[in-house]
Amino acid sequence: MKRLHVLFLAALSSSLLLAGCGKDAEEQQPVVGPIVEAQPELEKENTESAEQEKPEEETETETPPQEGMVRSRITNEWVDEEINNTRPVAVMIPNSKTASHYGISNVSVLYECNVEGSMTRLMGVFDDWSNISKLGNIRSCRDYYVYWAFEWDALYIHFGGPFYIDDIIGRKDTQNINCIAYSNASFREAAKNSTDNAFTSTEKIKDAASHYNYPLTYRDGYADEQHYLFASESEPNTLEQYSDAITASKVDMSPAYPVTNCYFVYNESTGLYERFQHLSGDSDGPHVDLANNEQLAFKNILIQNTYYEVRDQKGYLAFQCHDTTRDGWFFTNGKGIHVTWEKTSDYGATRYYDDDGNEIKLNTGKTMVCIVEDGDTFSVDGKTIEAK
């Protein structure tokens, strides 16, 4: 039986209630009742033997728009070679109605997953963070997000977290920036409330990386392997090769995310899925970056049906990030197909396969990854789909 890196939960004594003190203010309330904690693996695995052999990837033959540009390993877009050789950052971002989102439109891959009380939290993976003056706001860590950050070899940025994160954050190979532990990593600025007002910037991240002696270039081995497979821009993946592909003009995640009520609408003129969710009031509207009023939009949407457990009476969750093969969906260019996904090791990339067992090819651009709890539902053009 494969190991559950996040979900081998062992009962803890009530003394662990004290371990969360001195961290994020939202985590300091005592938990009533029994608590169980994830037991993540303490040593990095050898991913070479664990991962399946990948098909040879097609290479783009287009001429770069200008000298010194290469294809991003994260989005397949043209970027400066220096950016492509710089490690990305993964930033924890709240998604409550009081959150203040600045700089988020620069994201390359955006994750969304429930944390507790049907509230979701976002983690943005930023390929190019070379010129950001205000990014965030930043909130606390959940341990399962760290495993998703691992597969990008990203510097993981957060604002404290509950004691459930202690094992994974305490690992020697976890290169994280805790804005509570190192206050120079962030700054406070007026926002919608006094809690969601911590932000970071390019200069703050560089300062923190220098403080912790973290390299800004990829660590040995992590940039050698292809992550997502991409179709060429000259021959994009339209999903028309799949006879069972469904039309997907609207992907509604609100049944799975009832607090944010987010959904995506396909814009035929741009070929992107535009993101909508709650505004500061009770109504829904475009999800925008307050720095530039730009609406978030994605070329690819990946949905991962995921086994989970409730850790305690406060509702903290644990998700099985890897050592599993589960169902999911892939949406791009107004269509969608059923897929299966697997992640075989801490640093191994999450792989997605069509029903014939072939690894899917994403299209060039930004990707949204939605983690959906087993038994929850979402809808596509009004048709309900159950995560199982």
The pLDDT > 70 percentage for the chain reads 82
170 SS3 class: coil
> Could you tell me the fold of the domain covering 10-41+69-386?
YerB-like fold (3.50.90)
How sure is the predictor about 280, in pLDDT bands with cuts at 50, 70 and 90? low
Domain ranges of the chain: 10-41+69-386
- Composition of the chain by helix, strand, coil, percent to 5: 15, 35, 55
Spatial separation of the C-alpha atoms in residues 158 and 90, rounded to whole Å: 9
Whole-angstrom CA distances from 56 to 51, 53, 71, 225, 335 are 15, 9, 17, 12, 25
| Cα R_g (the chain), whole angstroms | 20
Q: 232: exposed, middle or buried (C-beta count within 10 Å: 0-12, 13-18, 19+)?
A: middle
pLDDT tens profile 3-26: 444 444 333 333 333 333 334 444
DSSP per-residue codes, 217-245? BPPTTTTSS--S-B--TTS---STT-TT-
Of the candidates 157, 197, 202, which has an alpha carbon nearest to the alpha carbon of residue 181?
Answer: 157
How sure is the predictor about 193, in pLDDT bands with cuts at 50, 70 and 90? confident
Output phi, psi for 47, to 5 deg: -80, -15
Spatial separation of the C-alpha atoms in residues 175 and 69, rounded to whole Å: 28
pLDDT tens profile 22-55: 344 444 433 333 333 333 333 344 444 444 444 4
Sheet holding 187-188, edge to edge: 135-136, 198-200, 187-188
pLDDT tens profile 83-139: 999 999 999 999 988 888 999 999 999 999 999 878 999 999 999 999 999 999 999
- Spatial neighbors of 208 by CB under 8 A, at least 6 apart, are 157, 177, 182, 184, 185, 214
Q: What is the pTM of this model?
A: 0.86
Spatial separation of the C-alpha atoms in residues 26 and 334, rounded to whole Å: 39
Compare 1 and 282 and report the one with higher pLDDT. 282
Spatial separation of the C-alpha atoms in residues 367 and 227, rounded to whole Å: 13
Amino acid identity for residue 251 in this structure: V
For residue 33, count other CB atoms closer than 10 A to its CB: 8
Write out the two tokens for 164. Answer: 């459930």
pLDDT tens profile 195-250: 789 999 999 999 999 999 999 999 988 876 789 999 999 999 999 999 999 999 99
Q: Are 181 and 44 in contact (CB under 8 A)?
A: no
Of the candidates 232, 182, 250, 213, which has an alpha carbon nearest to the alpha carbon of residue 361?
Answer: 232
Q: Are 60 and 73 in contact (CB under 8 A)?
A: no
For residue 22, count other CB atoms closer than 10 A to its CB: 10
